[in-house]
A and B are shown apart, each in its own frame.
Chain A
Amino acid sequence: MSEVSRAPRTRRLSGAKAPVALLVLLAACVPIFLFAAPAQAHNVLVGSDPKDGARLTAAPARVTLTFDQAVRRDFARIAVTGPDGAHYEQGDVGVSGDDVFIGLRAGASGTYQIGYRIVSNDGHPVTGTLTYTVGDGAAPGGAGPSAGASAGSGTASDGTTGGTAGGITGGTTGGTAAAPGAYSGTGSGAGGGSSGGWVWGLLVAMAALLALAVRVLVRHDRRTGSAA
């Protein structure tokens, strides 16, 4: 029985303290705000250049997507698929403020699809597709290429290799859009990203606490068992 009295926190709060407990619980929320980033919301695409569905006379040199708030650079991807199903983006994705942009290489006239995928500040991926047309809407072979493009996207989403479907992109893009290893080489870009490595320490500490609890209880059982 003396062992039992050594149990931690044996004091018992008097009953009917539920409101107090609730208040304490709410007070406990406060420190949580310390590690919550100030802006936590889904980013929303509010504009683009070229605009969705735009008809341009000349191929643009770059594509800019504008979101309602700043975008994390480290996960941003933009792919521009041309009328022939090939990728036209080149270089790395850049971020300035709310804008995400990527350079384009020159392409033939026809309909281009801009696919994007960014990670919103709350950690959720946001994806979407825009289209624009260069030159005449009635570009040669308007129907065939779009079928090719959708086939290409199918391969890309199925493939687990990261680099988009080599057969279609060929060597032209140099893997700019979907470089394997989404986290590589972008360490400096995160900007506002908080470094949260400490949570692992917390997890380990709690696992240790649980192991300790199990150990104490097993030893306690053994001792009371031998005493009896």
Chain B
Amino acid sequence: MTATTERPAAADSGARAARPRAPIAGLVTGGVLAVVVATWLTVPASVPGIPMPGPVVEYGLPFFRELLDLSATAAVGLSLLPKLLGFDDPDRTEPIAARARHWAVLSALAWCAAALVCTVLSAAELAPGSVPDVVAYVDGIGTGQGLVVSASCALASAAVGMFAVRFGEKVPAELRVLVTGFGLLPLPVTGHASNWYWHDLSMVSMELHVIGAAAWTGGLLSLAVLLSRDRELLARTLPRFSRLATWALIVVALSGLFNGAVELLLSPLEPFPQSLVTTKYGWLVLAKTLLIGLVAVAGANMRWRLMPAVARRAPTAFARWAALEVTLMGLAYGVAVALTRAPVA
């Protein structure tokens, strides 16, 4: 049943793919652009007498980390989509849900591949000028373990997703959301949240940040790609997503400000309010704050100006606004990757 509905969906996606790809292109282009610029800004100067990693590692590592984040986000968003679509009108939602299941598996596999490439590049970053010893790197460094655990979670998500591809919505959406969402957790705990008395609190805040960002960006991405042409379904789904997005905005903004401020406040060298402008970490925090502000404006526009028309099933500029918002989110993701790597000083 599900397999037969998937074939035609996949077939005609090729025919009318032109516009729904804009959000994907925007997300990836925005993300890669931001990550390259931010990396270029924060790349460490060469040090006399010490071999430095080459440009392949310096730029390749953030690039693949960006791909990791984006594909994980897509996997989360596509797993969430059935919850947003609802289960009361399967005849109408099933073709869309089938495509979402299909792409969720592919996103999870891309996520796994990106995580493994990141592991190798991270090992290479620590041993410039010699062959990277990935096993020793993973053995000794928490980030390496985090990357491998993330890759494992991606595989688990792909496995559950495969069952969902085959058995349809009989595999509960909650299970897919849980397994996929769990895969977001290992990387933040091995990042550089501060060494602080309330370390655990900043960890929880970081996890909330990542979960909120993935649900928000991934959810909007899957709506923009899969639903922007179906006015009827969009009218039913967008209000549900809008509630989710409101919570995600609050969570992401608060946890992001908290973590950025903690990291800057606890820097032993730089005094706080000035370090926002004197350090590159501060610049990146400001850039991300600006971006989330723009995303919030775009989201507010969608919520209050587009949603009433969408609810009336009237033609709207939803696709265009969603593509714009997703692109802004991609830029924020790119800055985020640079932020995980940049020292405060």
Contact B142 A35 (CB under 8 A): yes
Contact-residue size bin, chain B (C-beta under 8 Å from the other chain): 35 or more
Cross-chain contact A28 with B185 (CB below 8 angstroms): yes
Nearest 5 CB-CB pairings of A with B: A79-B49, A123-B143, A115-B47, A206-B155, A196-B145
Nearest-CB residue, chain B, relative to A203 = B152
15 A-B pairs (CB sep. < 8 Å) = A4-B167, A7-B170, A10-B170, A69-B195, A80-B49, A116-B47, A122-B190, A123-B190, A156-B51, A182-B130, A193-B140, A197-B135, A199-B145, A213-B162, A221-B166
Instruction: Verify if B174 is at the interface (C-beta below 8 Å from A).
Output: yes
Across the two chains, which residue of chain A brings its CB closest to B2? Answer: A4
- Cβ contacts under 8 Å, A36 to chain B: 142, 189-190, 203
> B144–A217 contact, CB under 8 A?
no
Contact between chains at B126 and A200 (CB < 8 Å): no
Select one of B130, B139, B268 contacting A68, CB under 8 A.
B268
Q: List A contacts of B26 (CB < 8 A).
A: none
Nearest chain B CB to A179 CB, angstrom units: 9
Instruction: Tell me whether A37 and B142 are in contact (CB under 8 A).
Output: yes
Interface residues on A, range: 35 or more
Contact residues of B: prevailing secondary structure: helix
Contacting pair A4 B139 (CB below 8 A): no
Residues of A within 8 A of B (CB): 4, 7-13, 15, 17-18, 21-22, 24-26, 28-29, 32-33, 35-42, 44-46, 68-69, 72, 74-75, 77, 79-81, 87, 113, 115-117, 119-129, 149-150, 152-154, 156-157, 159-162, 164, 177-178, 180-183, 190, 193-197, 199-200, 202-203, 205-207, 209-210, 212-214, 217, 220-221
Which residues does chain A contribute within 8 Å of B126, judged by CB atoms?
75, 119, 123, 125, 182
Q: B144 to A203, Cβ gap below 8 A?
A: no
- With A154-B46, A183-B136 already in contact, the answer to whether A199 and B148 are too (CB < 8 A) is yes
B122 closest partner in A (C-beta): A123
A180, B138: Cβ atoms under 8 Å?
Answer: no
